[in-house]
Amino acid sequence: MRRINSFGNNYKMDYSNLHLKPEIRTVCFDIDGTLIDERVPGAQIHPRHLGGNYLLELLARYGAQHSEKAESEILDYIKENLFWDYDDIIVEFGLDYDRVMASMREWHLGEFVVLWDRVRLLHELYRRGYQIQVISNNPYMGCLMKLELAEIVGSNGIGLLSGVHGSNNGLGQKHDPAFWRRVLELTGVPAGHMAMIGDNPLEDSYVPLQAGFGQAIIVQDTLNLEELSSVSV
């Protein structure tokens, strides 16, 4: 019987309240809602944005310098290439890579906040000797830009992380069991030795546990650390 532990983030993190099973060797973190969060809900992902993603609008603005049909061309591209990444679009449409990436990073700085207690937890687990990986619905470049905000990765690589798995290398999203099977193949770590930490009970607990993960931990702002609870799956 696997268990989903829940603890809050409104108080200073007490790492002693986080109990990992003895067999866990690798701890995986979600990004959005776990390590960082939007200042205003819907800032990035919302139906009002081009393709449901504000960053596609930003790319289209740069693309408009080359084509009046940049918006429709980008929408056609992401429909034809389901597992795209932002740098794929930059290259496909001949955009200025450095200029566009600088704009995207600047936008992230203004729209997201870092959940530093969660980031400190990640560093603490690394200090304890666990391998740390990231699993997210963002494409790989989107993961890196957000992890840069949290000072987990830098411009020279993924730093202390042993893996970063997004929508394009996992070929899907976290609600899909097939995504987790592909990610497990990429990690090369037996599923039972892995724990997932995230904020979404379905995507960060139920589905990975069904894929064989040894443990899932849900962080919830509404819970006090003294209200540590467990539910069975």
Higher pLDDT, 53 or 134: 134
Average pLDDT over residues 45-68: 84
pLDDT attached to residue 14: 57
- The region of weakest confidence among 43-47, 76-80, 98-102 is 43-47
DSSP collapsed to 3 states, the chain? CCEEEEECCCCCCCHHHCCCCCCCCEEEECCECCCEEECCCCCCECCCCHHHEHHHHHHHHHHCCCCCCHHHHHHHHHHHCCCCCHHHHHHHCCCCHHHHHHHHHHHHHHHEEECHHHHHHHHHHHHCCCEEEEECCCCHHHHHHHHHHCCCCECCECCCCCEEECHHHHCCCCCCHHHHHHHHHHHCCCHHHEEEEECCCHHHHHHHHHCCCCEEEEECCCCCHHHCEEEEC
Domain residue spans of the chain = 3-35+115-232, 50-110
Q: What are the tokens at 159?
A: 């730093």
Higher pLDDT, 8 or 99: 99
pLDDT digits (tens, 9 = 90+) for 47-57: 888 888 888 88
Residue 192, beta-bridge partner list: none
**Sign of the dihedral through C-alpha 221, 225, 227, 230:** positive
pLDDT attached to residue 15: 60
Residue whose pair of structure tokens reads 């937890």 in the numeric block: 121
- CATH architecture type of domain 3-35+115-232: 3-Layer(aba) Sandwich (3.40)
pLDDT tier, 132 (very low <50, low <70, confident <90, very high otherwise): very high
Average pLDDT over residues 159-185: 92
- Res. 155: pLDDT tops 80: no
pLDDT attached to residue 166: 93
Are 220 and 201 contacting, i.e. CB atoms less than 8 angstroms apart? no
Average pLDDT over residues 9-32: 78
